[in-house]
C-alpha cells in the first residue's frame, strides 16, 4: 500500500490539489451541446466519458500517490465541494433538458434517445459515483444529497443495499453484487437488479423488526426513496409531458446500466474464504479489484481504489490508498475499458479468468475445490 511520507497537511489543501477531480464538470456543457446541436453531437457525452478517459489512461499510466490517510477532513474542502455542488447541477441539467427538448424541433426520435442516454452517462458515471461517496458519510446533508442523486436514477434503494448488504457480505453468496466466476454480465445484470431490491428491502425490514417495528414504519428509508423518485417523475411529466417522462426514465435506465457494469467489474470472481458455521473471513484488500489508472480515477473520484474502500469504508475519496499486486488483484485497464470488455463475455473470460485463477493460487492455495464458490449458493 502507498504510504505518504509528506509533511503534515495544511489547514486546507489548495484548490490545485483537488483540480483533477473537477474535470467531471466538463461533462455538463457536453450534454447540453448534444441537445442543442443534435446530429453526431449526441454521441459526444458517451465518447468523452469513456473514450477520452481511456485514452488519457493509456497516455498517463498509473498513479500510486496518495494523501496521508490521517489528513483532517477540514483540509479537504475543495475535494468535498465538488460532491456537494454536483446534485443541484445535475438536477438543473436533467430537468432543464426535459423542459427544452419537447419545445424544440431540430431533434429526431433517435437523437432524443441518444441525448437521454448521454444524460444517463452523466448521472450514472458521475452522479451515482458521487452519491456513493455521499451515502458513506455521517453528515445528514451529504446523505440527503446522495439520496437525491440516486432518486434521479430511480435507484434509491442502492443506499440500503450498499451499506447494509454489499459491505457486509461482499465476496459471499449473500451479496448479489459480487459477480460469480464465469458469470457473464448479461446473466449478472437481471440477477443483480432483482437481488439488490429484495436484499435491501429485507435488510431494512429486519432492522425495524429488531426494534419491534413493522416494515411500513415511517422510519423505513424506502418511504424516502419512493417519495423522491415519485416527485422526480411527476416533475418530469410537468415540465415535458409524456416525452419528458420518457426522457427521464431512459436517462435513469442508462445510469443504472452503468452502475451495474461497474459493480460487475469490481468484484468479479473474488470470494472470501468460508470458515464454516456460516462464517467467512474478514474483508481484506484482496477481495476487490484495484486499479491505479490516473485519468479514470480523477473522473471517478478514486472509485477504482476499490480495494481500500472496502478495507476502510469510512475514508473519503481523496484519502483512499492504492495497493500493489501482492496485496490486491490488479485490473489491466481502468473502468472505461473494463466495462466495455464486460459486454463481451468471451473476451471478458479470456482476460479475467486467468487473473482469478492466479489470485486463487496466490491467496488460497489450500482450496482445491472451488465448485461451491463458483455457485450462487454456498454452505451457510
Virtual torsion, Cα 160, 163, 167, 170, nearest 10 deg: 10
The stretch 267-296 carries a mean pLDDT of: 94
Q: Report the 10 Å Cβ neighbour count for 374.
A: 15
Assigned domain for 85 exists:
yes
Quick: pLDDT tens for 332-354. 999 999 999 999 999 999 999 99
Quick: pLDDT tens for 109-158. 999 999 999 999 999 999 999 999 999 999 999 999 999 999 999 999 99
Cell numbers representing residue 152 in the block: 434521479
Confidence of residue 33 (pLDDT cuts 50, 70, 90): very high
Assigned domain for 379 exists:
no
Assigned domain for 190 exists:
yes
Confidence of residue 369 (pLDDT cuts 50, 70, 90): confident
Cell numbers 455542488 correspond to 85
Enter the DSSP assignment of 290: B
pLDDT for res 372: 79
Determine whether 257 is exposed, middle or buried from the number of CB atoms within 10 Å of its CB (0-12, 13-18, 19+).
middle
Percentage of residues in the chain with pLDDT exceeding 70?
96
CB 374 within 8 A of CB 180: yes
∠ CA 54-60-65, rounded to 5°: 115
Quick: pLDDT tens for 213-254. 999 999 999 999 999 999 999 999 999 999 999 999 999 999
CB 300 within 8 A of CB 123: no
CB 342 within 8 A of CB 185: yes
Confidence of residue 371 (pLDDT cuts 50, 70, 90): confident
| Distance in angstroms (rounded) separating the CA atoms of residues 362 and 367 | 11
Confidence of residue 98 (pLDDT cuts 50, 70, 90): very high
CB 252 within 8 A of CB 123: yes
Query: Under 8 Å CB-to-CB from 347, ≥6 apart: which residues?
Result: 341
**Number of domains the chain contains:** 1
pLDDT for res 379: 33
Confidence of residue 4 (pLDDT cuts 50, 70, 90): very low
Q: Report the 10 Å Cβ neighbour count for 259.
A: 25
Q: Find the farthest-apart pair of alpha carbons in the chain and give their distance in angstroms, rounded.
A: 65
Q: Which domain holds residue 196?
A: 20-69+77-363
Instruction: Count the alpha carbons within 13 Å of 200 in the hemisphere toward its beta carbon.
Output: 21
Confidence of residue 374 (pLDDT cuts 50, 70, 90): confident
Assigned domain for 93 exists:
yes
CB 270 within 8 A of CB 178: yes
Cell numbers 492504492 correspond to 322
Enter the DSSP assignment of 130: H
Cell numbers representing residue 226 in the block: 419512493
Cell numbers representing residue 116 in the block: 437521454
| Distance in angstroms (rounded) separating the CA atoms of residues 269 and 258 | 19
The stretch 176-199 carries a mean pLDDT of: 96
pLDDT for res 380: 28
Residue 169: is its pLDDT beyond 50? yes
For helices 140-152 and 77-100, the axis angle rounded to 10 degrees is 30
Assigned domain for 243 exists:
yes
pLDDT for res 1: 55
| Distance in angstroms (rounded) separating the CA atoms of residues 354 and 363 | 14
CB 137 within 8 A of CB 129: no
CB 112 within 8 A of CB 38: no
Across the chain, mean pLDDT equals 93
| Distance in angstroms (rounded) separating the CA atoms of residues 206 and 214 | 9
Assigned domain for 373 exists:
no
Give the 3-state secondary structure of residue 81. helix
Dihedral of alpha carbons 82, 41, 303, 318, sign: negative
Assigned domain for 294 exists:
yes
pLDDT for res 236: 98
| Distance in angstroms (rounded) separating the CA atoms of residues 159 and 228 | 13
Cell numbers representing residue 160 in the block: 440500503
Assigned domain for 205 exists:
yes
Determine whether 377 is exposed, middle or buried from the number of CB atoms within 10 Å of its CB (0-12, 13-18, 19+).
exposed
pLDDT for res 122: 93
Amino acid at each position: 500500500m502507498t504510504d505518504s511520507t509528506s509533511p503534515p497537511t495544511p489547514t486546507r489543501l489548495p484548490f490545485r490539489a483537488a483540480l483533477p477531480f473537477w474535470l467531471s464538470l466538463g461533462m455538463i456543457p457536453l450534454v447540453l451541446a448534444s441537445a442543442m446541436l443534435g446530429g453526431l453531437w449526441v454521441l459526444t457525452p458517451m465518447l468523452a466519458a469513456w473514450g477520452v478517459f481511456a485514452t488519457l489512461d493509456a497516455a498517463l499510466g498509473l498513479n500510486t500517490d496518495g494523501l496521508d490517510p490521517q489528513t483532517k477532513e477540514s483540509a479537504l474542502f475543495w475535494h468535498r465541494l465538488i460532491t456537494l455542488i454536483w446534485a443541484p447541477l445535475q438536477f438543473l441539467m436533467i430537468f432543464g433538458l426535459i423542459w427544452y427538448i419537447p419545445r424544440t424541433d431540430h431533434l429526431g426520435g433517435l437523437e432524443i434517445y441518444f441525448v437521454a442516454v448521454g444524460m444517463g452517462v452523466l448521472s450514472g458515471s458521475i452522479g451515482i459515483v458521487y452519491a456513493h461517496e455521499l451515502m458513506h458519510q455521517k453528515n445528514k446533508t451529504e446523505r440527503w444529497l446522495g439520496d437525491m442523486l440516486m432518486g434521479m436514477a430511480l435507484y434509491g434503494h442502492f443506499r440500503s443495499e450498499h451499506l447494509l448488504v454489499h459491505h457486509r457480505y461482499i465476496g459471499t453468496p449473500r451479496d448479489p453484487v459480487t459477480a460469480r466466476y464465469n458469470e457473464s454480465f448479461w446473466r449478472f445484470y437481471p440477477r443483480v437488479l432483482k437481488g439488490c431490491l429484495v436484499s435491501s428491502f429485507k435488510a431494512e425490514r429486519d432492522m425495524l423488526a429488531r426494534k419491534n417495528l413493522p416494515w411500513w414504519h415511517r422510519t423505513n428509508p424506502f418511504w424516502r426513496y419512493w417519495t423522491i423518485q415519485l416527485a422526480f417523475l411527476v416533475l418530469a411529466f410537468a415540465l415535458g409531458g409524456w416525452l419528458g417522462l420518457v426522457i427521464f426514465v431512459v436517462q435513469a435506465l442508462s445510469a443504472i446500466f452503468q452502475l451495474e457494469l461497474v459493480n460487475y467489474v469490481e468484484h468479479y470472481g473474488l470470494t472470501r474464504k468460508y470458515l464454516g458455521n456460516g462464517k467467512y473471513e474478514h474483508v481484506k484488500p484482496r477481495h476487490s479489484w484495484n486499479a491505479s489508472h490516473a485519468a479514470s480515477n480523477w473522473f471517478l473520484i478514486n472509485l477504482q481504489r476499490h480495494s481500500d474502500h472496502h478495507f476502510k469504508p469510512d475514508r473519503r475519496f481523496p484519502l483512499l490508498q492504492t495497493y500493489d499486486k501482492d496485496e490486491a488483484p490488479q485490473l489491466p485497464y481502468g473502468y472505461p475499458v473494463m466495462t466495455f470488455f464486460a459486454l463481451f463475455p468471451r473476451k471478458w473470460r479470456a482476460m479475467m479468468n486467468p487473473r482469478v485463477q492466479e489470485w486463487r493460487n496466490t491467496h488460497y492455495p489450500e482450496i482445491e475445490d472451488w465448485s461451491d464458490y463458483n455457485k450462487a449458493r454456498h454452505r451457510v
